[in-house]
Amino acid sequence: MGSKDNVNGEHDTIIDNDVNIDNNNNNNKESNEINNSEKEDNIETNETNEVNKNKEDTVIESNKNTQDEGSLGDVEGNIKPMIDYGKIKGSQDVEIPQLLIDQVIGHEDAIETIKKAAKQRRNVLLIGEPGVGKSMLAKGMAEMLPPEVLQDILVYPNPEDTNNPIIRLVPSGEGKKILKSSKSTVSNYDEWKTIIILFLMVGAVLVGFYFKRFWETAIIILLLFLVAALTKLPRNASVGPKLLVNNADKRFAPFIDATGAHAGALLGDVRHDPYQSGGLGTPAHERVEPGMIHKSNKGVLYIDEIGTMNMKTQQELLSAMQEKHYSITGQSETSSGAMVRSQPVPCDFVLVASGNIQVLEGMHIAMRSRIRGYGYEVFMKDYMEDTKENREKLVQFVAQEVKNDGRIPHFSSSALDEIIMEAKRRSGKKDALTLRLRELGGLIRAAGDFAKEQGADLVTAEHVVESKKFSRTLEQQIADRSIIQRKEYSVYNPKGGKIGIVNGLAVIGDRSGLISPIAAEAAPAQSTHEGKIIATGKLGEIARESVQNVSALIKKHTGTDISHYDIHVQFLQTYDGVEGDSASVSIAAAVISAIEEIPIDQTVALTGSLSVRGDVMPIGGATAKIEAAAEAGIKKVIIPRSNLKDVMIEKKYEEQIEIIPVDSLSEVLDNILVGGSRKNNLVKKMKAIGTAVAEKVPNTSIKGNIPNKSN
């Protein structure tokens, strides 16, 4: 894998100029075969110019960047480890903190906020991508709340109003004792009643036999059975209390996950009683069921994706937060439970709500206002800096995952290096480590499963590398299948040159790349006033806007008047739609190729956002796109220069593909159009226009124009 510009000198290797000349000669020979329509003398001249130019270029071997840090899959020991392991031979030697809050990785600022909120019992809103540790922070907060203030909640029958049960609070652990004592009283009464009835029956039988009154005796026994069945406890002692919330033997304050809970489960409910008449019904207080807001009293109530909860439930939750008490009633109006309403039940909880940034749209305004006014809002990171301390934290994370899973072997130091390298790749940035640790944990468990299947005592680097095949996301599997199908049906062909067709690059999901061919055709305008740009392929709003911007770029940077053309742009086989502007540089290349009738090298793929001034801007998913191009048989990939430092491709792709960083549209065309006089003239004209525009900008300083505030 190579690059045409030296950006990071300490990681670069300068390839001998003779090799560069040979490589470029070969590339130009391929271009000559493609561009058979050009004249032989022009081709030879262009080839000579290209060789002379490349003699002065420095070619970057981007794979050296990863080799300096530690190559993927390298277990020979000749590569410097990612960290100084010292006496640590594997994850089994790593000490794991006892408290959950100390097990959270990479969110130091969020942890400090959570500690403040726990101390002052403040509500918290956590916003971030899935799998970055939001629920773990909430659980850690529950451990920091004081457990000595916990209470048990009992519900008693109300002799004055059976539909208004009485609520009583007792210290934690006392609820069980009261319930046991109440059951003992009822049991003693039943025992004495049974003894008395049996004594009367025995007496009746003896008297009947003595006086030989058998029929009368039978009638008396039946009457005694009837009396026993109908005899009840005194009204004030007929039924004992019900233990609603039991906090006995709890070391920490309660943590209740109410994610996705319906109104009854969240706010409490009263069960329906089909036998409510005739004295056969269940007492009202026995049918009262506590909600999660009551079970989390003096603890933490955690709700993920809170914006998906309906507005009425959010309003009731807000009332409970404000009053710190909430009466339990039947949630269904057609149920007999709707007639029952308990006395207010304590629900003094700390709310920790979470979700991604879109969840704010569905969140009740007053709810967010209360959290903001009486708590904290925290935006969680999805990556952390690649430092020695953070790498050590990742090693701790691996040890935690192995312990929590309990079914996989520990990781060797080489496997830990592999996990750190994968965290670098998944961050999408060279000097960063991902914090989407739930997904990284999936790879850890897959590697552990594979090692156990192989009968290994420790997980090695090879196990981690092999497990990537089994832990591929659905999007990656879809992308792989799409590449095979598109190759089979010749949707794209990484050979030769074609006019108006370019190999664009896209991303499916988070990190799965895909080849996205784009075709352009220029036809005479149907309108006498001006031409149109017509784009098809289920484009999103941003993608359509990027297509429109291309027309301004072509007019300014090529000097071509496109008002006489109707330009058709087609994104081939984009059944799921296209969004974003990372294809704008591909669109521009395809349209210019179609207008100027210059073939595009099909061994090259490209990606990049294009500003209206012709600058190539950074995009996301550069690594995934490059790997997809390599899988598809592409030989070169053009990317924005500012993305070069973020490229962390796997070792198996390093020798398959060359990376070409660019800054401007003219550089893109210089590298993607097939060589010849028409290409040379176009690129020369674009550079001349760009130079003329730059010369018009005065080289002045605004320093002296800043007004003096003292005046």
Same domain, 459 and 579: no
- 522 in a structural domain: yes
From CA 145, how far away is CA 101, in angstroms rounded? 12
582 counts as catalytic:
yes
- Among residues 498, 625, 635, 636, the one annotated as catalytic is 625
4 counts as catalytic:
no
Cα distance between the two ends of the chain: 60
Contacts 24+ apart (CB under 8 A), 99-104: 99/140, 99/143, 99/144, 100/136, 100/139, 100/140, 100/143, 101/137, 101/140, 101/141, 101/143, 101/144, 102/140, 103/136, 103/140, 103/396, 103/400, 104/133, 104/136, 104/137, 104/140
Handedness of CA 635, 640, 641, 646 (dihedral sign): negative
Q: DSSP label at 3?
A: B
Same domain, 411 and 531: no
For 20-33, what is the mean pLDDT? 42
- 310 in a structural domain: yes
- 55 in a structural domain: yes
DSSP 106-163: S-HHHHHHHHHHHHHT-EEEEE--TTSSHHHHHHHHHHHS-GGG-EEEEEE--SS-TT
Domain count across the chain:
3
The pLDDT assigned to 51 comes to 36
State the residue for tokens 């520990």.
410
Same domain, 9 and 138: no
Instruction: Domain of residue 325: give its range.
Output: 134-171+250-377
Residue pair 340/288 in contact (Cβ under 8 Å)? The answer is yes
- CATH code for the domain of 397: 1.10.8.60
User: Which of 377, 407, 422 represents a domain boundary (last residue)?
Assistant: 377
Same domain, 343 and 447: no
The candidate with the shortest Cα–Cα distance to 647, out of 13, 59, 66, 10, is 66
Q: For 508-537, how does the pLDDT look when each residue is reduced to its tens digit (9 = 90+)?
A: 766 778 888 888 888 887 766 666 777 776
Q: For 121-155, how does the pLDDT look when each residue is reduced to its tens digit (9 = 90+)?
A: 999 999 999 999 999 999 999 999 877 788 999 99
DSSP 329-346: B-S-TTSGGGG-BPSPEE
- CATH code for the domain of 521: 3.30.230.10
The pLDDT assigned to 192 comes to 66
Query: Which residues are 424's β-sheet partners?
Result: none
- 214 in a structural domain: no
pLDDT beyond 90 at 483: no
- 673 in a structural domain: yes
Same domain, 288 and 342: yes
The pLDDT assigned to 72 comes to 40
- CATH code for the domain of 279: 3.40.50.300
Q: Which residue has the higher pLDDT, 394 or 202?
A: 394
Same domain, 300 and 159: yes
- 324 in a structural domain: yes
Structure pTM?
Answer: 0.72
Out of 169-178, 520-529, 569-578, the most confident range is: 169-178
- 35 in a structural domain: yes
The candidate with the shortest Cα–Cα distance to 682, out of 606, 594, 602, is 594
Same domain, 388 and 346: no
The pLDDT assigned to 63 comes to 40
Kind of pairing between the strands at 166-171 and 616-617: unpaired
Same domain, 592 and 574: yes
Q: Enumerate the H helices of 406-436 as residue ranges.
A: 413-427
Same domain, 457 and 485: no
- Among residues 182, 342, 582, 586, the one annotated as catalytic is 582
For 579-583, what is the mean pLDDT? 69
Q: What is the mean pLDDT of the chain?
A: 79
Note the Cα 17 to chain centre separation in Å.
Answer: 46
Same domain, 607 and 635: yes
Same domain, 511 and 609: yes
Same domain, 7 and 45: yes
From CA 599, how far away is CA 657, in angstroms rounded? 21
Residue pair 476/144 in contact (Cβ under 8 Å)? The answer is no
- 46 in a structural domain: yes
User: Which of 377, 406, 437 represents a domain boundary (last residue)?
Assistant: 377
From CA 65, how far away is CA 61, in angstroms rounded? 8
Q: Which residue has the higher pLDDT, 384 or 678?
A: 384
User: Which of 441, 470, 499 represents a domain boundary (last residue)?
Assistant: 470
